[in-house]
Amino acid sequence: MSDFPEQIMKLMADQVPFNRLLGIQGESASAGACVLVLPVRPEFLGDFRRPALHGGVVSALIDTAGGVAAWSTLGPDESVSTVDLTVDFLEPAGLAAPLRAAAQLVRKGNRVCHVRVAVTQDGKLVAEGRGVYNIHKRPA
């Protein structure tokens, strides 16, 4: 099951329609951690005057990275769903370079996982997120 985190990352990028629409790509994954990359497009702009990316795009990347990090610590008969997501926007993200989200599991309990995510663009921290993910066990 050592390749399970890689399988989860691939599933989230290839099989989730919303993630495919955005173009989220996996860079790396291990138990409790992952790095996802999002190439940016002009359609992602929320403020065309700056131009700055829409916060919902950044939030979606954070949520996906947090979900992969949490899910990668579970068994094959388990999955996760988002219970809470907090995002701090630190700098406007633009069109100059892809976004990179690095997620790290903080704590895995019996019912929820807590994850922290840092989003950078060209090495600059643009947002931080904290997610709580409910653990779902498939009924026997």
Tokens of 39: 């190439």
Q: Is 33 strand, coil or helix? A: strand
- pLDDT of res. 32: 97
How far apart (Å, rounded) are the C-alpha atoms in residues 24 and 65? 10
**Residue 140 pLDDT greater than 80, yes or no:** no
How much is the pLDDT for 65? Answer: 98
Q: Which helix (H) or strand (E) holds 6?
A: helix 4-14
Question: Regarding the domain with residue range 4-137, which homologous superfamily does it belong to in the CATH classification?
Answer: Hotdog Thioesterase (3.10.129.10)
pTM for this structure?
0.95
Across residues 63-74, what is the average pLDDT? 96
At 85-113, the pLDDT tens digits run 999 999 999 999 999 999 999 999 999 99
What is the per-residue pLDDT across 2-52, written as a single tens digit (0 to 9) for each? Answer: 688 889 988 888 999 999 999 999 999 999 999 999 999 999 999 999 999
**Who contacts 71 (Cβ-Cβ below 8 Å, separation ≥6)?**
8, 12, 78, 79, 80, 133
Distance between CA atoms of 91 and 111, rounded to whole angstroms? 33
Kind of pairing between the strands at 99-108 and 78-89: unpaired
